[in-house]
Structure formats: C-alpha cells, structure tokens
Amino acid sequence: MRIHPIKKMGSQNKLISDYRLGKQEIMDFFDYIPSGDLETRVKELRERTFQRESLQEVLHKLNKAWDAPNSTLHNINRFSNKDSVVVIAGQQAGLLTGPMYTINKVISILQLAKQQEEELNIPVIPVFWIAGEDHDFDEINHIFMQEKSRLKKLKVGQENIDKCSVSEIQLEKNIIRNWLDNVFSYLRETENTKDLYHSILRCLDQSETYTDFFARLIFKLFPNEGLVLIDSHHPLVRNLEKEYFEQMILKQQEISSGVYEIIDKLRKKDYQVPLEVDLNSGNLFYHHDKERILLFRDENGGWIGKQNEIELTTEELINIATNQPERLSNNVVTRPLMQELLFPSLAFIGGPGEISYWSALKPVFHVFGIKMPPVFPRLSFTYIEPKVSKMIEHFTITPEEVVNNGVQDYKRNLIDSQTNPPIHELAKDIKATIEKAHRPLRDLAKGIRADIGELADKNLYYLQKEISFIEGRIVRAVEEKYDKELTELDYINVHLYPDGLQERIWNPLPFINKFGVDFIKKTIDSPCSFSYDHYLVYL
C-alpha cells in the first residue's frame, strides 16, 4: 500500500480554503492556529478543572457495555493522570459505520493523538463522540452499494415513527438481518466474506440500539488503537452535564447574541456558514414524549418549543437540568461547548461542514471563560483498488483530476475527439448559424401578428431540435464504438468520484470484504500531515 498526498483540492468553499491556508481573515474567528505549537493549549488545560474521576467511571461503564478491547480500557484508566488530554471528533451512528469519512475521522484522531503524545510527552487519548441524541434517522438508515457502474441506495426497512433520538431507537433485528443479507448480495465472495458477515451479525445480536451496533462495529475495526467511545445521549453522560446545562440556560442571551454577531461578520467577509441563529434561539433541545423539541425564548423570557409544543419558565427548565438532565440535549451551537466542558480537549478534528459552523462559535466558549480548542481539518482519503488504478493508466487522466472533477468532461472530450470537427462544437455552431439566418424571418413574423411570431419561434425550436437529434445519434454511435472505454471510465468514476468525493458516499464494507481490515491498520500506521487537503491510498 502506498499513500500519495494532494496538497490542494480545487472543490473547497472559500472558508475552508482560507482556513487551510491559515489566512488571517478567517483565523481571527478561532483561538488557535492548528499548525502551531500546542504547548500553550496544554498549559491552558492545566489551569482548568474537569470531572476526571466521574468521567472515567462513566466511560468505563459505556465502553465495557460495548465489549471494548483492553487497549480502550487502558486509555480510559489514563484519564486519572491530571496531565492527560484528548483528541476528539464525532459523528452520528451510521449503519455499518456510515460513509467512509467516519472511518477517516477515526484514523485522524488516532494519528494526531499519537503524534502529539510523542511530541508533548503526556497521555493523549483518542476519543470519538457518538452523537446519539440526533433524531434524523433518514441520514443514517442506508448505505450505497455498487451495481455495475452506479451506486444503489439500500435503505433499512425500519422506521423512526416517533422521531426519537438514535440512541433510543430499538433495533428491529429481523428487519436488519434481511437488509444485511441484501447488502451482502452485492458483494463478490472473498476469503473475508463469511467471517465479515458473521462478525457483523454477532455485533447486531449483542446490540439493543443503533448506537450500540455502531460502537461494536467500530471496535471490530479498531481493536488495538485505544480508541475511546462516548454516547452523548446516554443518561450517565447527561448526569455529568447538568451543571453545564444550567449555565447554558442562564447564559442563553450572551450565547445567542455572540453567535448572531459573528455570523454577520463572517458573511460580510463573504464566508458562508451553514448555521441559522437568532437572538431568541435557546440552543437546547427538550425531549418530550420521545420527540426532540428545539427551544426558543419568547417575549416574556419564557422557553417555548419551535411549534409552541411546550412552555417552560427559566426556573422550570433549570429544575429539569438539575433533576432530569436526560430530558435535555445540545443543538449545533452548544454541543461543541459541552464537549469542551467535559473533556480536556487538546484538539478537535472536524470535517469541512463542522469547521464552517465552528467558525461562528468563538464567543460561545468565551462566554464560559474558556478558549475554543485548536480545530484540525480531518484527514481525507480516497482508496484506489488495483483494478481501478490499472484502468486509469489506459487514459490520459490522473487520479487527482478524477477526485477533483470526475470523468464527465473527459468522456465528452473523448467522444468529441473521434469526430472532426468535434460533434458538440459542430452542433453548437450550426444552431448558432440557423438562429442568425432565421432571425429576419422571426422579426418579420412578429411584426405582422403576435401569433405568427410565436409560430416562427416554435419553427426555430423544431429546427434546432432536429440538430440536437442528429447530434445525439452521432454521439450514441461513437459511444457504441467505444463502449469498452466509456464503461471503464464510468467504473473509475463510481469508485473515485460518485457524485463527489468517495468518502462521502461509499461505505467501508466493500473494501473490508476485498482487503480485510488490514488496509485500515496500514493507513493508521502511515503518518499523514494535516497540512494536505487529501490523500490517495493505493491498496
């Protein structure tokens, strides 16, 4: 296996591009430059207090319940060291781990934790935050599998009728087993298939919820790396958070106004932030009758649901935070803050979307008298199979070009190159000539009567439609002649650029089926710089 870095990707938005380049315009919205020395961050964390003993106890209970490996339990024990810190990232509990970027996030955590432990000479623990409170089941209830030169969405049959949080959704195991059998029908049998299938079934049988299923599978993929998992929606975790919930309730106005002002400043600098906040945003969810209700402040200072489902006074909400913290959860604004209050975070690792909205959160941390942790862009990988690599060699196109733009333009140019002049250019020129020659006729018709003018416009439409028809027939004839080449290009595209980066669509299952989990281990063991935009991993 070899890994090839790509310094700069061309498909990033302005905010992420400027952040990676360390431009001052965007770095002003963060407290740390991730490429800088983290010794200062360690000193800051030493001045703060954390519920280390209680957190350690909770992490032991959660991870043992998921049959965590000894490497994980050993790392949890290291929380008792007052100098220990964490590298942390998070994601929803996707089916069969979800898209590849989830795996890439874990690899990022493990690599940065290892690098910084060697550099700082203190325990640096890799932590993955499972966003168990999320209730958007449609985002996680499917994976994509390859069917010839396209990807097919395979959705599990279970529904989340009550719209409850993912960590509360009980697995309907018969439905999932049937779904899993269908998923495996898309795989060619290899020496890994049978063990992989039964390993997943065992994880399913031992799990009660989708979060359990996710956690067990993650430990199967990362058994020796000391990865620590936390379910943010677990009642034991909520009990640790009650004091922080109370402070978030009391400081709602400062939090919302701070974010509101920052978003305005970001947009004036032409930075697009995927975050909507107004001065009345409560920044918390209230869980009622299995539903998660986003809270807002009303004109009287009370707390109401977005659709007026509930009405609470500040005193009532604080009482809930104190005595029933499991009925509250964070929204996108306060979740990073809660994570930071629980853990001594040396660094947070985020994807492009997360970094975009984190850029608006500096005042949230400052309201609590702390700094935003250093934010590192996660490592981004595209995995290239030998078959795909060999196909690419047949064409005058590079893997870098494919992962940036796909092959559609290349296919079009290939077809054009088989006709002289190129068919698409010729058709375009002929249409322009016809339009110009036809214009006097249309002008004359419109000057006689409106309906005759409309008829002339329709006449031009039909003339150009005939050109499009013959253009299409010529293109199809060329495509038939070069069917093998075009099929190979589609195969390359579905692997490396399936409607965007591979990691956003593909699930790791097909790769594990072909190459075993060893390719993940080898990727972890190949140190990668966080200064590069992307990596090509040749399997």
Tell me what the mean pLDDT of segment 289-311 comes to. 90
pLDDT of residue 149: 87
pLDDT band at 243 (very low <50, low <70, confident <90, very high): very high
Q: What is the 3-state secondary structure (H, E, C) of 18-85?
A: HHHHCCHHHHCCCCCCCCCCCHHHHHHHHCCCCCHHHHHHHHHHHHHHCCCCHHHHHHHHHHHCCCCE
pLDDT of residue 418: 85
**How much of the chain exceeds pLDDT 90, in percent?**
88
In this predicted structure, the answer to whether residue 86 has a pLDDT above a threshold of 80 is yes
Nearest alpha carbon to residue 536 among 348, 387, 401: 401
Q: How many residues does this entry show for the chain?
A: 539
pLDDT of residue 466: 95
Tell me what the mean pLDDT of segment 148-167 comes to. 88
**496 within 8 A of 399, measured Cβ to Cβ:** yes
pLDDT band at 105 (very low <50, low <70, confident <90, very high): very high
- Domain residue spans of the chain: 240-329, 384-501
Tell me what the mean pLDDT of segment 93-112 comes to. 97
Nearest alpha carbon to residue 96 among 136, 141, 160: 141
pLDDT band at 319 (very low <50, low <70, confident <90, very high): very high
pLDDT tens digit string along 347-400? 999 999 999 999 999 999 999 999 999 999 999 999 999 999 999 999 999 999
Tell me what the mean pLDDT of segment 300-328 comes to. 94
Q: Is the dihedral of CA 38, 42, 43, 48 positive or negative?
A: positive
> How far are the Cα atoms of 38, 256, 353 from residue 371, in angstroms, in the given order?
13, 17, 21
In this predicted structure, the answer to whether residue 64 has a pLDDT above a threshold of 80 is yes
pLDDT band at 290 (very low <50, low <70, confident <90, very high): confident
In this predicted structure, the answer to whether residue 136 has a pLDDT above a threshold of 90 is no
pLDDT band at 298 (very low <50, low <70, confident <90, very high): very high
pLDDT tens digit string along 274-284? 888 889 999 99
In this predicted structure, the answer to whether residue 135 has a pLDDT above a threshold of 90 is no
pLDDT of residue 537: 98
Tell me what the mean pLDDT of segment 212-222 comes to. 98
In this predicted structure, the answer to whether residue 217 has a pLDDT above a threshold of 80 is yes
pLDDT of residue 15: 95
pLDDT of residue 308: 87
pLDDT of residue 317: 97
pLDDT band at 527 (very low <50, low <70, confident <90, very high): very high
pLDDT of residue 134: 85
Tell how strand 124-130 and strand 85-91 pair up. Answer: parallel
Tell me what the mean pLDDT of segment 108-135 comes to. 95
Backbone angles phi, psi at 72, to 5 degrees: -70, -45
pLDDT of residue 97: 97
pLDDT of residue 36: 76
Tell me what the mean pLDDT of segment 427-435 comes to. 95
pLDDT tens digit string along 502-512? 999 999 999 99
Nearest alpha carbon to residue 100 among 521, 538, 509: 509
- Centroid of chain to Cα 388: 25
Average pLDDT value for the chain:
95
Instruction: Residue 191: count other Cβ atoms within 10 Å of its Cβ.
Output: 10
pLDDT of residue 364: 97
Please list, in sequence order, all residues whose beta carbon lies within 8 angstroms of the beta carbon of residue 450, skipping any fewer than 6 positions away. none
Tell me what the mean pLDDT of segment 40-45 comes to. 96
In this predicted structure, the answer to whether residue 230 has a pLDDT above a threshold of 90 is yes
Distance CA 436, CA 432 (A): 6
Tell me what the mean pLDDT of segment 444-471 comes to. 94
In this predicted structure, the answer to whether residue 47 has a pLDDT above a threshold of 90 is yes
Instruction: Residue 81: count other Cβ atoms within 10 Å of its Cβ.
Output: 12
Q: Is the peptide bond before 440 cis (omega within 30 degrees of 0)?
A: no
pLDDT of residue 152: 96
pLDDT of residue 244: 98
Tell how strand 124-130 and strand 291-297 pair up. Answer: unpaired
> How far are the Cα atoms of 18, 29, 380, 460 from residue 533, in angstroms, in the given order?
12, 21, 7, 49
